[in-house]
Amino acid sequence: MTDQVKVELEAGVLTLTLARPEKKNALNNAMYGVLADALERAETDPAIRVVVFQADGDSFTAGNDLQDFAAQAAGAFEGERHVMRFLKALAHATRPLVAAVQGQAVGVGTTMLLHCDLVYVAPDARLTTPFVGLALVPEAASSWLLPARIGHARAYAMFALGEAVDGITAVAWGLANAAAPEAELRTRARTAADKLAKQPLGALTATKRLMRDAAAIAALMDKEGALFAERLGTAEAREAFMAFAERRPADFTRLA
Ligand code: COA
């Protein structure tokens, strides 16, 4: 367990708050574990009708903890990994998922939004998926879901060039429902969640099942996951993580 994710249930709404603001809410293994447990519980607990993701501090999340990635790359990561359990729980979620996003939403911080049903963003939020620059590949079924949502050209620029999408553009491109000032974001998400919590759960569940092919999404996550794990072991990835730790730009030009 970790207190870096707060879990609160009130009136049918399970709120998951990322609470590691000093590290821009970078997601470590323990945090993925709490998120996965919560989503799995939401599927079976009749008291939970909607799940809300939000984050403390100035950013939604800086994505996967890069020290964890570096440890995995070095073969020094021990214990059960929870990230895939979290992603699979997103794939199979039938409860409505709502997100309130401010500041940076890097990597999985953006790709998890593709699994949310309602997304509210601050106008100056920055959505980025810089997988290629980290010598990695897209995850969370984003290699299909992102181009399907915004088109290949835009998705490729996000993946391969790390181009950022601000909150206003995210709404225009269909990545988010609406932009709201940061001070109003949580209320906006909560109001929508409260409305959903009063809707008939059976109809919500059936509708979401019709709208998403969970089995295909989960199968793609496995395919991406195998490539992702392979890429973590490359010299390119070691250079990317070392460059982040040393606060310098990565130099891939001397690697074959
Ligand atoms: N993993 C681990 N630590 C991270 C992190 C991550 N993904 N992102 C940020 N942090 C840490 C920084 O190391 C720093 O720690 P320190 O204060 O102990 O030095 C702290 O969080 C604040 O980050 P900083 O870079 O100083 O903040 P910023 O406002 O200048 O930049 C980001 C914010 C998110 C743009 C920048 O931190 C970043 O690019 N992070 C990496 C994002 C990434 O590549 N994620 C993986 C995606 S797959």
Q: Domains in the chain: how many in total?
A: 1
Instruction: Answer yes or no: is 195 within a domain.
Output: no
Q: Write out pLDDT tens, residues 100-141.
A: 999 999 999 999 999 999 999 999 999 999 999 999 999 999
Q: Whose CA is nearest to atom 16 of ligand 1?
A: 23
Q: How far apart are the first and last CA of the chain?
A: 41
Token output for 249 = 């730009």
Q: Are 38 and 14 in contact, with CB atoms under 8 Å apart? A: yes
**Residue 45 maps to a domain:** yes
Locate 170 and state its tokens. 């995210």
Residue 190 domain-assigned (yes or no): no
Residue nearest to atom 37 of ligand 1 (CA): 62
Which residue lies with its CA nearest to atom 11 of ligand 1?
A: 23
**Assigned domain for 191 exists:** no
In a domain, 196, yes or no: no
Provide the residue type at 248 as one letter.
Answer: R
Which pLDDT tens digit goes with each residue over 150-187? 999 999 999 999 999 999 999 999 999 999 999 999 99
Range(s) of the domain holding residue 223? 1-181+201-256
pTM: 0.97
Report residue 105: phi and psi, to 5°. Answer: -130, 95
Q: What is the pLDDT of residue 76?
A: 80
* Atom from ligand 1 closest to the CA of residue 23: 21
Q: Whose CA is nearest to atom 7 of ligand 1?
A: 65
Q: Which atom of ligand 1 is the closest one to the Cα of 59?
A: 34
Residues with Cβ within 8 Å of 243's Cβ and at least 6 positions away in sequence, in order, are 249, 250, 251
Q: Residue 115: its pLDDT value, please?
A: 98
Residue 189 lies in a domain: no
CATH number at residue 151: 3.90.226.10
CA triple 154-146-160, angle to 5 deg: 50
Q: What is the spatial order of strands in the sheet that 165-166 belongs to? A: 104-106, 126-128, 165-166
Q: Which of 24, 129, 137, 163 has most ligand 1 atoms within 8 Å of its beta carbon, as the pocket-test mutant?
A: 24
Question: Does residue 130 fall inside a structural domain?
Answer: yes
Residues with CB under 6 A from ligand 1: 23-24, 26, 62-67, 104, 106-107, 130, 134
Contacts for 49 with CB less than 8 Å, ≥ 6 apart: 12, 13, 95, 96, 196, 197, 201, 204
- Cα of 23 vs centre of ligand 1, distance in Å, is 6
